[in-house]
Structure 1
């Protein structure tokens, strides 16, 4: 009986990658053709380097993608969830967490190096990377100078706005201490959509008024959820 393509592919993933034909090995294909030619499983396999027992790194990567639901969900998982997956262990788990931190720092350095921070998508990508995976609600601020250049990103409060855990006085004091002229507020909705609640609307209006009294501008307020974001400025809900 002749082997089908599926049989061959299944057999290949069971073998150690180093025994694959050179033209099929993910690492060599990455170096020769670039990352865009590789699947999520192949890219993850390069990171994993080895699998476990009779499973190659590619097979282990496929198992991880199936278990967590996708590449984003793997990167958003907690350290405990990553370590608990068969074949990961402390070493690979630490490397995976380090890769996510590197991605966050890469995006932050992009924010720091632009002459004027007016690229909404760049800001949103950074905020998603920072807050999307959080399991509890956080409130943070992004501070800009008079030229709209990055000063700092800072998580200030934990808990929902409806619990009155966010103090506009503390926000303004922190911004003034860091010589900010523009302030971008952000909080996440760990569950559900990114639509603002009545408390979100009330708080944003209060913060904008407090900023205005001190010649500071609330440039935007972002709400980040797992799959979307909401911008008060884009919706015309913050005055220029």
Structure 2
């Protein structure tokens, strides 16, 4: 005997069709023109749909943007912070953080192939993408060949940057393994102030002396923040 839909069945089916139709329109819009013309909440909504097969995510996305302030802040939020939003579960939060990580990796690799290693400002702008927004101090080294081409970036230490943490042996071990002719060292200041501390200057001079002894030139020490930088070479501190 055929099943006859009652009123509640029809409402559920109608809502399902509405949600699926809305998702299809969003996805078609993206496939046609990328993210051009998308509101921040629509981008978050698209991400949420990947981990939520059938539920309407539009209102959750709007609440998420309202809570954090914008798309960038949503992507920067931790998994724990994201899951405080009603409707965002572990799969949704994982999807958002995965999207952020992929975006950052792509951005770094793209910039790496274009950045001029002879310009302190260009290097700083690249490093801002790499470590500028980190909440802890990251000390990195850029190994260059004789033509200023970037060979590799090495993570040397995480935490406070001083002579007791950053040892010349670790820095130049990486440089020698990369067959570097010259290096640039850099770290971030989570405080937002790029001004070099006395410890930063002392460490730089210690590394510069070691570099001269082993025949690798230390070109610069660049300190970056989210939107600022200082070149110790430009300040005549090397």
Distance 2:122 2:192 in 1: 23
Distance 1:196 1:75 in 2: 30
Higher CA-based Rg: 2
Aligned-pair CA distance for 1:234: 7.6
Q: What is the CA RMSD across the aligned residues, in angstroms? A: 3.4
What is aligned with 2:4? Answer: none
Segment drifting more, 228-237 vs 150-159: 228-237
What is aligned with 2:99? Answer: 99
Aligned-pair CA distance for 1:121: 6.5
Consecutive unaligned residues of structure 1, counting only runs of 5 or more, are 1-14
Q: Secondary structure at the match of 2:127?
A: helix
- Counterparts of residues 1-240 of structure 1 (less than 5 Å): 18-20=20-22, 25-49=25-49, 56-110=56-110, 113=113, 117-118=117-118, 123-162=123-162, 164-225=164-225, 227-232=226-231, 235-237=234-236
Aligned residues: 221
Aligned-pair CA distance for 1:126: 4.4
TM-score normalised according to structure 1 size: 0.73
Q: Secondary structure at the match of 1:49?
A: helix
Distance 1:146 1:98 in 2: 37
TM-score normalised according to structure 2 size: 0.74
